A = this chain, B = another copy of it.
Amino acid sequence: MNTTSKSYGKMTSMNIDEIIKINKDSKREYEDIKAKNLKLNMARGKPCAEQLDLALGVLESLHARTEFDGSDGDDSRNYGVWDGLEEMRNIFSGMTGIPADSLILGNNSSLAMMFDSISKGYTHGYSGCEAWCKQSNVKFLCPSPGYDRHFAITEYFGIEMIPIPMLKTGPDMDIIERLVANDTSIKGCWCVPKYSNPTGITYSDEVVERFAKLKPAAKDFIIMWDNAYCVHDLSDTPDTLLNLFDECVKYGTEDNVLYFASTSKISFPGAGVAALGASKNNYSDLQKMLQTRSIGPDKLNQLRHIRFLHDVDGVKNLMQGHRGILEPKFDIVKDYLNNELSELGIANWSNPQGGYFINLDVMNGCAKRVVELCKNAGVILTDAGATFPYSLDPNDSNIRIAPTFPVLDELSQAMELLCVCVKLAASDKLMSDRV
């Protein structure tokens, strides 16, 4: 992660008159923008319509009976093939580095596969251990800031969440190693290892290796490796992620991890294909659950994706199109932050090489205020705190910026407003601190 390494020096070292001037200017600018009656929603990492247009080829009609034959001769319109079509598993294998025969395809939501995996631990346990619902005080590690929907799943099952600080190289592995070494009630850890949501960093090779080497006290420990942005590069110098699957084979820790990916942000968020990767033991364990739950996933949608994407090179070509649309949006966000805020030293932000988010840390105690100010002027951001377990940001400083959905002009308006709100909140805070 490249963050602007400015300290909170400049505005904090101003005299009170200078701060009051910034405050007044910001207030005026804020009222001017508010008068425009904006109505923008930047809360979620949704692709924009132009991105979705790139994948329209997925939706070409299917007609002839021969088109429905899977490579095994099976009619893909009918029941069966619980783990999905081999050709689609091959595409995911190329994307994630997980062998195709270790992958299981789902329907349109990798989040649903994660929910089902946690639910499976809760109802039946992992690695032959007792179900989590029969154990007391089950806990999960939550590198934070992180993905709010991960935390919502753990919270739903009443699993206690332990926040783990995110460093520039990934979660703080010193803390994780220490915590899992002795506490059998810690059952797993959420991870978005590449272009992490929301910080945008990619786990370093050392961090991945340390996850592979992890020897938790709990035999039923599961790393939830959500590789949502594995091919979502936005730069000529994309990040690379060490292959955890291979590393775990080296260290004999295959059963400690479940892997997730999807085409939600490759083809269509509502109508893509999701995949789960697992060790042999976890695979057969999950097979029992999945085959009881359903006869199989939507194979016609897999067929559409196979026909359109062909292979991992097809995916990579498509992602170049996404980059063409998204890179200018990320640039607008970074330009506004650089131009409006870097001299004042009242915020830090990430410079991700891919993914869906830019991470903004404002002055401690100001995030909620900034999000509220934006909302009152018509721009919805992700709720402050949402990126932390129980929505509790200990510093009240983290804001997730999701630049993908708005058109360029709206994004500029929203960023102009956001920067004004950051200044307004910071100057208010500094003024009240000096009273």
Q: Given contacts A62-B59, A123-B123, A293-B115, are A107 and B298 in contact (CB under 8 A)?
A: yes
**Chain A, range 130-181, C-beta contacts under 8 Å to B:** 131, 133-134, 149, 152-153, 156-157
Closest partner residue, chain B, to A122 (CB atom):
B123
Interface size class of A (residues with CB under 8 A): 35 or more
Closest partner residue, chain B, to A79 (CB atom):
B269
A49 contacts chain B at the CB level, 8 A cutoff: yes
A61 contacts chain B at the CB level, 8 A cutoff: yes
- This chain: copies in complex: 2
A431 contacts chain B at the CB level, 8 A cutoff: no
Q: How far is the CB of A386 from chain B (nearest CB, A)?
A: 14
Q: Do B77 and A293 touch (CB < 8 A)?
A: no
Closest partner residue, chain B, to A59 (CB atom):
B62
Closest partner residue, chain B, to A44 (CB atom):
B79
Q: Which residues of B contact A119 (CB under 8 A)?
A: 119, 123
Interface centre among A80, A109, A264, A294, by most B CB within 10 Å?
Answer: A294
**Chain A, range 283-299, C-beta contacts under 8 Å to B:** 288-289, 292-299
What 1/0 mask marks residues of chain A from 18 to 54 whose CB sits below 8 Å from any chain B CB? 0000000000000000000000000010110100110
CA A77 to CA B58, docked complex, whole Å:
11
Closest partner residue, chain B, to A56 (CB atom):
B63
A268 contacts chain B at the CB level, 8 A cutoff: yes
Q: Do A271 and B301 touch (CB < 8 A)?
A: yes
A9 contacts chain B at the CB level, 8 A cutoff: no
What 1/0 mask marks residues of chain A from 285 to 320 whose CB sits below 8 Å from any chain B CB? 000110011111111110000000000000000000
A108 contacts chain B at the CB level, 8 A cutoff: yes
Q: How far is the CB of A307 from chain B (nearest CB, A)?
A: 12
Q: Which residues of B contact A434 (CB under 8 A)?
A: none
CA A115 to CA B61, docked complex, whole Å:
32
Q: How far is the CB of A47 from chain B (nearest CB, A)?
A: 7
Q: Which residues of B contact A68 (CB under 8 A)?
A: 52
Interface centre among A149, A153, A157, A292, by most B CB within 10 Å?
Answer: A292
Q: How far is the CB of A265 from chain B (nearest CB, A)?
A: 10
Q: How far is the CB of A78 from chain B (nearest CB, A)?
A: 5
Q: How far is the CB of A154 from chain B (nearest CB, A)?
A: 10
Closest partner residue, chain B, to A81 (CB atom):
B270
Partner of A60, one of B61, B122, B157, B293: B61
Q: Which residues of B contact A65 (CB under 8 A)?
A: 49, 53
What 1/0 mask marks residues of chain A from 60 to 95 whose CB sits below 8 Å from any chain B CB? 111101001000000111111100000000000000
Other CB < 8 Å A-B pairs besides A59-B63, A79-B264, A149-B292, 20 of them? Answer: A49-B65, A52-B78, A56-B62, A59-B61, A59-B62, A61-B61, A78-B269, A79-B269, A107-B298, A108-B294, A108-B298, A111-B295, A112-B293, A112-B294, A115-B294, A119-B119, A123-B133, A153-B292, A271-B300, A301-B301
The 10 closest A-B pairs by CB, nearest first: A271-B300, A61-B61, A115-B293, A109-B294, A112-B294, A79-B269, A59-B62, A107-B107, A133-B133, A52-B77
Residue pairs across A and B with Cβ atoms less than 8 A apart, 17 shown, are A53-B65, A56-B62, A61-B61, A77-B270, A78-B268, A108-B294, A111-B294, A111-B295, A115-B292, A115-B294, A119-B119, A119-B123, A122-B123, A156-B289, A269-B295, A270-B296, A298-B298
**Which residues of A come within 8 Å of B, CB atoms?**
44, 46-47, 49, 52-53, 56, 59-63, 65, 68, 75-81, 107-109, 111-112, 115-116, 119, 122-123, 131, 133-134, 149, 152-153, 156-157, 264, 268-271, 288-289, 292-301
